[in-house]
Structure 1
């Protein structure tokens, strides 16, 4: 090699090395910053800090061989609603875990995104554009911060789930979510048993491994119960394990006495039963939900008959009236995201999804919100039911639950979108492995022998393929 060519070769090697190294430098810098925040200014629990630091160290060590190790280690953290002190901010552990996972997924995740994922991201972008008007009209810091936060909960969750599913970590990621929810469920059941022994029949809200509200417990266990009930064949869980997990999670959801979570769970199971063939197992699970429905109805009737103006039913009716009158002062663009933190406004978050959006972002934001959700269901309905059923079920559970409770809450928004993203990523990975499948975003025809999935009325794929080969040979 001539002396003139050597500098050019070295410049090419340096460029190639930097092309791969900048990602690792970015990840290392993010890990350092997050660790410093958590240890110096974050959680006060020393044990929690040690666990968080150990997780980051292990994840960083595994990142070279497992590019999405940080995203995987952050997955259980998505279910932790405890707050992290950041300059007086209101950041949760779930938010911090989602940001860490999002950075990893954005830098190291699979490309290109599938058509269904791009559609969902575009629908969320429509909502973000509509709420940008309220950010401009109501200029205060929390309004701008929440605008980015809302995008992260939806689009960030989808991208994190997609990266995990497309990289082949769908089973592991869903298992981590379900295992963490089972820990919460076991703690909830233990709390309920102790309360019953003391004569207390009220809601079970555990304080271990961290203090939790009954509605948080009910929602998280309901999400995990839906995953174990659907139990997609591409996850690979055994039927026995999924049934045990479903029982534990279902009991915990009932013990929490979270009415809105139980209603969301019932809606999701009914949807799955109607979309699947009405098997004996599906009918049995549907019958088992009757006691949960009875519990919800009886609690509401009891509160209405009590005529106690301070119980949850009458209090919500009063809140609805107040929020309606408050919205009329700024009907088009609303009062701003997180307006309840601004002095002089209503000091509480509206306990209903559409009411919260219209008060925060006005009619413009509400229209975009409805478009985003209807569009998401249409996109997911058109994909292969093996993947779309679970994605629709968790999102349906969330939007139904939010008709009776707060909507923009970190864990309760990000987790269902992460699960939906995992479904889309797993589908895209399987389609790449089987080029003869229909393109992503095009629903497979539900024809018996051609479908190959007995749960949708089809014959086993092996017999269908053999029959076709015999016909072709003849």
Structure 2
């Protein structure tokens, strides 16, 4: 009977272990089916980049059995890729798919409980989502509802992914994957720029290989990575020489892209690093670098204004602002719905400014939620331990500054800074949990009346019978 019972228990244990890991096989099958579907839906050539990205996620599912959070880690390079995937003609990007896959893994494997700063950020995003729910109800169409969930994923989903990675001990690896991927984009931008300059064209660089990239995308993702290596927190463990080389490489790509909003956002992050120079070690002399950057931005704007070209970025934005303002006045309270520019008869463009986009999409209600969310997010991150909070507040501030001059709700533009902020909070929580608890002897010394000093107890204690000055000092 004893041997039979042991065999039965062993059999039940094996079945329980199989069911415990069954979800990994389900994700593996779903990823394989999605990859095959996208290739068939878009064609082998057009779907190759998407298939490669999904293949990486499928491999991550298989590896997750032995390496926790493998999917989330393998999704980090995918966050920087905004090529569209098929999925029946939807508007999802590789970055969205990667973030969604990483979020699913992080929800299952993230350490609990969440820290107080993370919970505060999630509640702030929830408040914004609540205020935009009115426009989803007032404007019932599919894209409106889909974008409501998409916006939540870009903020709260990204925070949870970053938290899971940081709290799991993979902060350095995840940040390295982001920086290395951005550095590869920077190298491709420099090569393309040199070829372009050789033909006498000194305009913005738009890399075309391995896939077309807009100059603002190049500028934004390389600026984010430049912020990470410039601040280079001590808990990441990068050498100073490597971080300096990566920073100058990424900065060169930002300049070649001629993305003004990316450069302005990078300047804002450098201000934060200098303000907290006690943590970052950055000197005020770095402000000298801001002078040529500001001169470059101002000169480009002046050049476009003097050209009087009606279709350049300056005059085009002024026309767009005017059109968006008049369009918002038609529905000022609840707006016209998220992603309204895809609807026939609506303005056929996304407003190139954050608050104006939210105002036209979600009305006054949504704008209030947006402003409260961003002020609250920056306030929470500012009060976090500067060793971890400096990078988080710098990269998040950089994003909102960028969005004052260009599109806001874009996949990589929103998800990357919030993933990095989540990594910082997760790494901080992991370090706090790793601190050894006070020993019982130390606790006894704090609470025992016999361990009180003569000054606090009011009783003079006799000297211990020890020899020498050392013994007297111990007594």
The normalised TM-score by structure 1 is: 0.87
Q: Is the 8 A contact 1:158 1:421 kept in 2?
A: yes
Q: Is the 8 A contact 1:352 1:406 kept in 2?
A: yes
Q: Is the 8 A contact 1:23 1:107 kept in 2?
A: no
1:299-448 equivalence runs, <5 A: 299-435=300-436
2:32 is the alignment partner of 1:32: yes
1:88-103 equivalence runs, <5 A: 88-103=89-104
Q: Is the 8 A contact 1:204 1:255 kept in 2?
A: yes
Report the counterpart of residue 456 of structure 2 in structure 1. none
Per-residue CA deviations over 1:341-381 (Å, capped at 9, x if unaligned) read 11111111000000000100000000000111111111111
2:243 is the alignment partner of 1:238: no
- Quote how far apart the aligned CAs of 1:395 are: 0.6
Report the counterpart of residue 71 of structure 1 in structure 2. 72
Q: Is the 8 A contact 2:167 2:429 kept in 1?
A: yes
Size of the aligned set, in residue pairs, is: 440
- Quote how far apart the aligned CAs of 1:313 are: 1.1
Q: SS at the partner of 1:337?
A: coil
- Quote how far apart the aligned CAs of 1:45 are: 4.2
Q: Is the 8 A contact 1:27 1:104 kept in 2?
A: no
- Matches of 1:53 and 1:215 in 2, distance apart? 25
Report the counterpart of residue 265 of structure 1 in structure 2. 266
Distance 1:52 1:352, change over 3 A: closer
Q: Is the 8 A contact 1:30 1:100 kept in 2?
A: no
Per-residue CA deviations over 1:68-121 (Å, capped at 9, x if unaligned) read 111111110000011111111111010011111111111122111111111111
The structure that has the greater radius of gyration is 2
- Matches of 2:381 and 2:421 in 1, distance apart? 9
Report the counterpart of residue 120 of structure 1 in structure 2. 121
2:225 is the alignment partner of 1:224: yes
Report the counterpart of residue 465 of structure 2 in structure 1. none
Per-residue CA deviations over 1:298-341 (Å, capped at 9, x if unaligned) read 11111122222222111111111111111111111100000001
The 10-residue stretch of structure 1 (47-56 or 244-253) with the greater mean CA deviation from structure 2: 47-56
- Quote how far apart the aligned CAs of 1:37 are: 3.4
Give me the CA root mean square deviation: 2.5
Q: Is the 8 A contact 2:35 2:51 kept in 1?
A: no
Distance 1:30 1:247, change over 3 A: same
- Matches of 1:129 and 1:57 in 2, distance apart? 34
- Matches of 2:152 and 2:58 in 1, distance apart? 28
Q: Is the 8 A contact 1:221 1:249 kept in 2?
A: yes
Q: Is the 8 A contact 2:381 2:393 kept in 1?
A: yes
- Matches of 2:366 and 2:50 in 1, distance apart? 39
2:159 is the alignment partner of 1:163: no
- Matches of 2:236 and 2:210 in 1, distance apart? 28
- Matches of 1:26 and 1:189 in 2, distance apart? 42
Report the counterpart of residue 202 of structure 1 in structure 2. 203
Q: Is the 8 A contact 1:161 1:417 kept in 2?
A: yes
The 10-residue stretch of structure 1 (385-394 or 302-311) with the greater mean CA deviation from structure 2: 302-311
Per-residue CA deviations over 1:203-244 (Å, capped at 9, x if unaligned) read 011112211011111111100000000000010000000000
Report the counterpart of residue 17 of structure 2 in structure 1. 17
Q: Is the 8 A contact 2:333 2:363 kept in 1?
A: yes
- Quote how far apart the aligned CAs of 1:276 are: 1.9
The 10-residue stretch of structure 1 (250-259 or 309-318) with the greater mean CA deviation from structure 2: 309-318
Q: SS at the partner of 1:91?
A: coil
- Quote how far apart the aligned CAs of 1:434 are: 1.1
Q: SS at the partner of 1:289?
A: helix
Q: SS at the partner of 2:89?
A: coil
Unaligned regions of 5+ residues in structure 1, if any? 438-471
Q: SS at the partner of 1:319?
A: helix
Report the counterpart of residue 55 of structure 1 in structure 2. 56
- Quote how far apart the aligned CAs of 1:64 are: 1.0
Distance 1:281 1:427, change over 3 A: closer
Distance 1:293 1:85, change over 3 A: same
The 10-residue stretch of structure 1 (22-31 or 193-202) with the greater mean CA deviation from structure 2: 22-31
- Quote how far apart the aligned CAs of 1:5 are: 8.3
Distance 1:410 1:397, change over 3 A: same
- Matches of 1:279 and 1:166 in 2, distance apart? 22
- Quote how far apart the aligned CAs of 1:59 are: 1.9
Q: SS at the partner of 1:403?
A: coil
Report the counterpart of residue 462 of structure 1 in structure 2. none
Distance 1:61 1:24, change over 3 A: closer
- Quote how far apart the aligned CAs of 1:18 are: 6.3
Q: Is the 8 A contact 2:57 2:101 kept in 1?
A: no
Unaligned regions of 5+ residues in structure 2, if any? 439-472
The 10-residue stretch of structure 1 (118-127 or 241-250) with the greater mean CA deviation from structure 2: 118-127
